[in-house]
Amino acid sequence: MRHSICLASKSYYDILGVPKSASERQIKKAFHKLAMKYHPDKNKSPDAEAKFREIAEAYETLSDANSRKEYDTIGHSAFTNGKGQRGNGSPFEQ
């Protein structure tokens, strides 16, 4: 599994600006809107690349039904190991 850096402690739902009850379509639409806004090729602000990565990580998790279910079950801090790195989803991972 690819490890990525979680740049914020807020939930993936907050990052994408969707409710926890959002449909797959709503999540995809929110991702595309934000990705276009923060893509480093289009947005030259210093934090655009970091924001884009954050958005992509949120979408990667919430767009996959199994990952989303796991994320909803164990929570954001456990899902990201509380260390800013996404793990295998186990709250017991070292």
Please write the tens of the pLDDT for every residue from 15-31.
999 999 999 999 999 99
pLDDT at 3 over 70: no
The pair of structure tokens assigned to 30 is 């929110």
Q: Residue range 44-61: average pLDDT?
A: 94
The pLDDT assigned to 48 comes to 94
One-letter amino acid for residue 53 of the chain: R
Can you give the C-alpha Rg of the chain in angstroms? 13
Tell me how far apart the alpha carbons of residues 69 and 47 are, in angstroms, rounded to a whole number.
Answer: 30
46: exposed, middle or buried (Cβ count in 10 Å: 0-12, 13-18, 19+): exposed
